Amino acid sequence: MNVLAISCHPDDMEISCGGTLLKCLKRGDNVTVCHVANGDMGHVVIMPEELRLVRAEEAQNAGKLGGLKVVTCDIGDLRVNGSDRTQIDTLVKIIREADPDLIITHAPNDYMCDHVEVSKLVQNASFSASCPHYEMDLGPACKVTPLFYMENYHCVDCEPTEYVDITDELELKLQMLAEHKSQVVWLKDHDNSDVLEDTRALARVRGIQCGVKYAEGFRQFLAADRLTVKRMLP
């Protein structure tokens, strides 16, 4: 299968669904990770234009470590707009190129505006990408794609309906997350959060819930034409 994970910032994927994507690779899937925002506001000291480059390099390093293809929409932080037609079209092109069988993205009730707008952007772009006569220069239309919402930040208000056992993938997931060095520091300073410890703890909680050591949780977007009788997650 073709799997597309569309996260907001570089490092969101590793935190919320990195283990699942590694497991998808193991079963032979083609996996693409798209970061919508470039993370240019995610530091106290480093200025936006420099940080944009730093975070792009961190994302590529993390992707190489896990064997994932990483692309970006390169939209500035706090500028993501799920109704902006230019941003929708940027994502339509990426979706059509990936031709996904499933998409993993943020839930519409996540904790900050960019994450919420990415959720809306993915719903709009994935449907637009399926329309044969819509912006034909962006590539051939693909099917309407099942959507799965990954964990909200600090697992607030996001009880999973599906779980993926990532016991064998957790350590590599954390190594990938550690490649985002600028954010490991930023999250401690800005959110008083040890992101590596928190990510391990959340995976343990989800594991306890479903009877394994470590897991990631997901909720499926329930809507017409988005559903299937197949198990999509690994």
Give residue-wise pLDDT tens across range 149-189: 999 988 899 999 999 999 999 999 999 999 999 988 877 77
Nearest Cα neighbor of 173 from 215, 231, 115, 234 is 215
Q: What is the pLDDT of residue 153?
A: 86
Residue 167 corresponds to which amino acid?
Answer: T
CA distance 126 to 116: 16
Domains of the chain: 2-220 (3.40.50.10320)
CB neighbour list of residue 96: distance below 8 Å, 6 or more residues apart: 129, 138, 139, 140, 141, 142
Q: What is the pLDDT of residue 224?
A: 95
Q: Say whether 156 sits in a helix, a strand or coil.
A: coil
For the chain, the average pLDDT equals 96
Q: What is the pLDDT of residue 174?
A: 98
Contact 146, 227 (CB under 8 A): yes
Q: What is the pLDDT of residue 105?
A: 98
Q: What is the pLDDT of residue 50?
A: 97
- The stretches in the chain having pLDDT less than 50 are none
CA distance 92 to 122: 9
Q: What is the pLDDT of residue 122?
A: 98
Nearest Cα neighbor of 87 from 124, 115, 113, 55 is 124
CA distance 147 to 106: 10
Q: What is the pLDDT of residue 190?
A: 74
Q: What is the pLDDT of residue 82?
A: 98
CA distance 215 to 166: 5
CA distance 103 to 3: 6
Dihedral sign for Cα atoms in the order 155, 159, 162, 163? positive
CB burial string 18-46: b at 16+ within 10 A, e below = bbbbbbbbeeebebbbbbbbbbbbbbeeb
Q: What is the pLDDT of residue 44?
A: 83
Q: What is the pLDDT of residue 188?
A: 79
Q: What is the pLDDT of residue 191?
A: 74
CB burial string 55-78: b at 16+ within 10 A, e below = bbebbeebbeebebebbbbebebe
pTM of the predicted protein model: 0.96
